[in-house]
Structure 1
Amino acid sequence: MLLPVSSLDDSFDDRKVFKMKKWTFSIAMVILLYVGRRANAQLSNKFKVCAKFGTYNECQQLDRTNEIECKKNFHSVDCLINVNSGASSFGSVTAEEALLANPFLQNVVVLGEYRSEPYLDDSVFQTVVLVKSTYSGGFSGLSGARYCHPGFKYDLEVTDFLLKEFELQLFNSTSLNLCNAETTTSTLVEKHVKTLADFFGPSCRPGPLTEDVSFNQQLKESYPSLCELCSDNCAPFTDQLFMSSLICLTQKNGDVAVSSLNSVRNFFNISDNKDKAQNYRYLCKNGTVTTLDNPCVWSKQPWDLLIANNDIKDTLLPQVKVWLQSHSISEGGSYSAGSPLSPTSRESLISVLMPEDRKFKKIKFFDNPVNLTTYLSGLRNVSTATEAVQCGTTVNWCTVSNAEQEKCNWLAQAGANRGIQPIVNCVQATDKLSCISQIYNGVVDVVDIDTNFGYLARRNGLSALAFAETVTRNLTTVLIVVKSNTTDINIEGLKDKKGCFPEYAGIEWLAFANKIRPRSTCDLEVVVRDFVGDSCMPGAHSNDRRPVSNGYDSKLCGLCQVNPANQGSTATTCNTDSTNLFYGNEGALRCLQSTGEFAVISKNNYNVDPNEFRVLCANGSLALYTGFNVDQNCALTVVINSEVIVKNSNPKIKDLSIAIFEFERWFGQDSRKPFELFNQFNSTWDLLFKDSTPGLDSAQSQNQYVTNYKNQVSAVCSTSLSTKTAASLLTIFLAILSVRLNF
């Protein structure tokens, strides 16, 4: 019933109107929140494609369409890890990337294979071994045989593991003992080569035997029989890799050859070779032989793969089939269950999944996605890094965090998949100083250190196995700085003044010590102690940084101050961490601002006003202008920023060097490689190496900045032996003295 107008007006006073408006507003807000949450839910439920470096422009276009979300990755390992965790829904990976990830990831499935025409084979290629038709089988009977091998060259797809698989099976199936081979260098690579040369007769195994050029030449000269059947100075065959061994087999009267199944078929289909086919058989991995019309393969190289997270495979597969229908070669399967993309999104997605450098552009979808491990097991045996160790020889690599340990384990597997020996074994320590100590004690073999630790490494009898290559962004420039209003001072005038250093025995400390020391003295610790006044040198109290025999001088930490955010007294502990307000380069500048009279730092962009400081040049003059922007002639030194160190007396040092440079060649700076040694891993920076590292230089490098660094650490001498070494010598001396006294 309608109320009278007067009654209506009386019923709705201002308070009631306000309550109604408030109630209506609340309802509206609930609706808006519900709609917003639904929209966010839909947004968060979008499939996320894994985009790799080089496809970011297409990825940006895809993001703009709001249909599929792009998850950017620096390289494919991160893509695989993200798909496994669900951070990404799907993506494309190469065969070698999939093989690398296999031991680590359990939640990845294969949606399909990238194929090439005519789409028939289940793999890119399949390795086989041919013998003469008169051969009855087994491996021992090949002793003295003429061995034909396709050879080694730089190839990201045909790995050394595949090319050496027959040889490793030969060693395992006969009385050959690789590990007992008596060689000049005792390296694994020479043991392998010598064992082959002793077992086979005249052979052709072309290409480099190792990436070490001088060592390769030495091996070629020591074992010439492995090149006796080759032409072109035993150089690798430049085209159609697997055909070369078949030419050797048929034209050089070979007895056994490693090749591929397609190469064998194509070779014996040539009219001139058809009548030769009856003279050969396949040698199987179990030692049996089969006819050419009944091939047995050793390993299959997978196709590149379209992968997805296992948890969403059933909802994703119908969608992807529709999105990529124009590139599909699948037989059967439904294409109507998924929703189509807009033309812009479809083209952008195709560009992300199939960039220009991808060899194969067609996809064979599986009706039922297959677990990655199950898929790969049908193609070849994938050994873990531990299973691939030869003769018990490993590169024991020191790591300093869980993230670094994980990357190291992936490196070990990448090396095993590639066929690099020795295999990496990852050993976790607490920090780089601990790694230095463990290398000295023989617990580990190598670690990459900041050159800040170079002095301490030399004091422990360690040296460089390799140096970081040098580019502008990869240099450490050491400067002496004073306050901007300082006048009329030179380096000699710093005597007894208050000094601020990033840390004790670091590269800044070392460069300063070398500048002030008399040329006849190499006890840098005494030189610095006697030169400075009260100072802050974080770590000066630590036995790991400073021999106990020198004693602890409190003035080396006299200026250090506790960080207000922490409790405790850094004046007595002098920590090399954030509890010390003056730790590190910025800390040294704060020290100079607060209480010091000079600081020694590495040039960089710091969160300070550079106009408060002036550089005191190496020649003793003050820079004309304030700030840190001076040329290299003004600096105390300009050096590389990292090196791989090893104990000088390590008997594996040649093996270690070979492995390190093999890693650089196969896993260095190149986005096409299955593993990137000098790049972030699992979204974490600077693991194992600095991400700015472009490559490695040999320990014999004559690079200007390497030479500068060598000159800095060359002052370390017997008067600066580590506490451990000094204690050992003292023990020996006392023992001898005791014997003589008793006598």
Structure 2
Amino acid sequence: MCLQVCGWKKFRWCTLSDLEQRKCAELSKALTAVLPVTNTDSFARISCIRAHNTYDCIDKIRVNKADAASLDAGDVYSAVKLYGLTIVAKEIYEQGNCVFAVAVAKRGTLDIQRLRGARSCHSGARWTSGWNIPLGFLLARNDLSWDEGQPLSQVISEYFNASCIPGIGVAAPQLCALCQGQKSYIRDKNHFCETSSNEPFYDSDGAFRCLKDGIADVAFLDHLTIMRATESEQQEYELLCPDGTTAELSKYNTCNLGKGPGRGIITRHNFQKITNKFLTMIQRLFGRKGKERARFELFNSSSFGGKNLLFRDATQHLQLLEEQLEIAYVLGLDYVALLKGLGHEGSSLDNSVVRWCCISNAELRKCEEWALSIKSDPLVCVQATSMASCIEMIKSSEADAVTLDATHVYIAGRCGLVPVAAECYADESTEEISKLHLKRKGLSPAYAVALAKKNAKQINIHNLRGRRSCHSHLYSPGGWLLLSRYTVGALENIAENCDIGSAYQNYFWKGCMPGADGNLCKVCIGDSEVEGARVSSRCAANHNEHYYGNMGALRCLVGNPSGRSFGDVAFLEHSNLLWNIENLKSSGWAKGYTAVDFELLCPDGTRAAVTEWAGCNLGPIPPSTVMTRPVTVTKIYDFLMKSQEFLETKLDSEFHLFQSQKYGGSDLLFKDATQYLVPATHMSYQEILGESFFQLAESVFNCTPAGKVKFFILS
């Protein structure tokens, strides 16, 4: 942070078009020219960061690739509630920060009561004047019939004949049918229906242009655009009033669909003071009363061949806000209540399909059967190579949800993903852990255990150095993170072994830790004895490696079916351990093993029966948790709860969410020990992990050398 505050002189503004880039570049030049005169050396340069659309801007600011942008109030709400950003200032117009949402049509062609079946153009999806207020108006009049279980976009597409609503996405193609932005399969060249000025019908000016070009019958926009209407436009177009009458364009004060907040400037929480300082300076220099206004006009875009570039041209000044103001206070309680009613925080506006991330062929088979069993709720199964790659896919919107173990929950949380639901492993011993953080939060933990064969009497937790080890996978809570306390973390030279991944390589002779490399892959066997398949999946961080997961670590301990490729100790979780031992025989993997053939290695150096895990374990493991992007929380939560409830009532169903045996694996998609999923949308990932586990993860990952964890992206 000191780098940004003390020595960094660039302020990065996010732009949405080539014209905005030009205006931003001119602002940078003007600042460079005048700053020596003002004897100020802060922000000697502005960097102009080009984004694809408004949500790309939001994401760039969130991940520290840009610092600020001016957005419609609807997008400001999304940026704050769904992406964790903050609003730092508001644009103030002649009527204050408010805008009137108006419906405009060609004179004599339409009235507000005959909108059904019309062609419509809107300033933007989820925007104040183009979406939120008009739809709130139509819903309040019962012109729209909306069952909140269906996407609102679907209702709108059935109401209007065709539309252009920039930013609506792929949920309802009819709502982009009138748009004219360039189409392309290359993202950088695809501007169709996007929230940037590369879409000709974007923003209020674009919606009005759509109407004037004869493409639409009605346009929904804000009054700031029609304030500048030419004399001929005032003669040709009129406002549609709520009472069914029409009015001149100049009568927007009395003929409108409602009033809402104007645009706001967003930034990251830790950048609010710097953004305030920057806005104060450019306004003092180039605002309407700025002393350098002759050189550059902040609220005028005409010299750049466009309108509303960087800020609305109607802006009189920027009102800076106090830090940590509640968004409902800034935007208004009524407006925020309207957004919540429209499902602005989640599923109502999104494509209803849920894309679940699977990490193996077996998970894909189970996921596809899940999808077939709940036909009413569209589920699509996408495949990745590991939990880590699922996190990357969800971050980049290539997938929506995945169940992650506790360590990967930490990683996903640091990458900006959030919890949806946690697995509950209701257990008869929960009374014994009532004082634990997890239990206080209503979540049940699993326990990390170290397992050895009973006849290997010489092995205990203190003499594992140089032995063959079996771990469920790289970064696993029990076989990687908690284990460090009893092995590499317990060594005298902590500093030398700060990177525990490297330290494990030196600590164990060889082993199988799927997802790792070097000698910790030497015991792994892949998914087949057929050479080609075995090599491709060997040591993979998914179920295609037979030694992956809790079941895999147990298989590793006893060896492959021929009795070779085995370890001396296995690190896994206690849940389903007895069933997994039984499964060794029933699956044909290894015969003759029962629970009495194994013992647990206790932290004090003693050993105990496998049933004594409550008193002989390496620590509690927070439950595995379904994670998603902030914007899709509601959608994923609704889907999971409906799916769980439906499958519980469908007693004759051959599909069971928490059973994996029929797919040739264990713990597929969810742990087989799961009794049910409990809501976790009200909790942060830190709360789910608990202070002890979170602090251990922090200390381990903070000292892991850069580049070791490629997917670990701090947000």
- Compute the TM-score of the two structures, normalised by the length of structure 2: 0.41
Length-normalised TM-score, structure 1:
0.39
Structure with greater Cα Rg: 1
